[in-house]
Amino acid sequence: MTLFLQVCVEKLLPFSSFANAFHQPTFIKQPMYKKAIYEVLQVASTRAGKAFLACPKSDQTDTSKSVDLHNNQMIDWAVTGFQPTGPKGLEPPDEERNPYKEVYPDVWVEPEAAAYTPPPAKKPRKSTAAEKPKVKEMIDEGTRERLVYEVRQKCRSIEDICISCGSLNVSREHPLFAGGMCQSCKVRREEEAIEAMNSGPAVGVRTSCAAQIAIKEDPWCCYMCEKGQKGVFGLLERHTDWPCRLQHFFANNHDQDFEQPKLYPPVMAEKRQPIRVLSLFDGIATGLLVLKELGIQVERYVASEVCDDSITVGIVRHQGRIMYVGDVRNVTRKHLHEWGPFDLVIGGSPCNDLSIVNPARKGLYEGTGRLFFEFYRLLHEARPKEGDNRPFFWLFENVVAMGVSDKRDISRFLEEVTAAHRARYFWGNLPGMNRLFGKVRTITTRSNSIKQGKDQHFPVFMNEKEDILWCTEMERVFGFPVHYTDVSNMSRLARQRLLGRSWSVPVIRHLFAPLKEYFACV
Strand 232-233, strand 236-237: pairing = antiparallel
Pairing of strands 465-467, 170-173: unpaired
Distance CA 446, CA 465 (A): 22
Q: Are strands 460-462 and 420-421 parallel, antiparallel or unpaired?
A: unpaired
Q: Give yes or no for a contact between 280 and 347, defined as CB atoms under 8 angstroms apart.
A: yes
Q: Which are the catalytic amino acids?
A: 351
Bridging pattern class, strands 344-347 and 393-399: parallel
Instruction: Note whether 165 and 182 are within 8 A (CB).
Output: yes
Is 89 in contact with 82 (CB distance < 8 Å)?
A: yes
Cα separations in angstroms, 496 against 266, 339, 393, 417: 39, 32, 30, 32
**What kind and span of H or E run contains 95?**
helix 94-97
Nearest alpha-carbon partner for 246 in 163, 171, 175: 175
Which one, of 331, 351, 319, lies nearest residue 503 by Cα? 351
Measure the CA–CA gap between 255 and 85, rounded to whole angstroms: 76
In whole angstroms, give the CA distance from residue 13 to residue 435: 63
Bridge partners (DSSP) of residue 465 are: 462
Q: Cβ(277)–Cβ(344) under 8 Å?
A: yes
Alpha carbons 310 and 101: distance in angstroms, whole number? 87
DSSP 8-class letter at 214: H
User: Which residues on adjacent β-strands are paired with residue 347?
Assistant: 280, 396
In one letter, which amino acid is 446? R
In single-letter form, the type of residue at position 84 comes to P
**Is 345:276 a contact under the CB 8 Å cutoff?**
no
Residue 322 Cα to chain centre, angstroms: 40
Residue ranges with strand state E in 175-306 = 180-182, 232-233, 236-237, 275-280, 298-304
CA 213/CA 95 separation, integer angstroms: 74
- Please compute, for residue 47, the number of CA atoms within 13 A of its CA located in the half-sphere on the CB side: 22
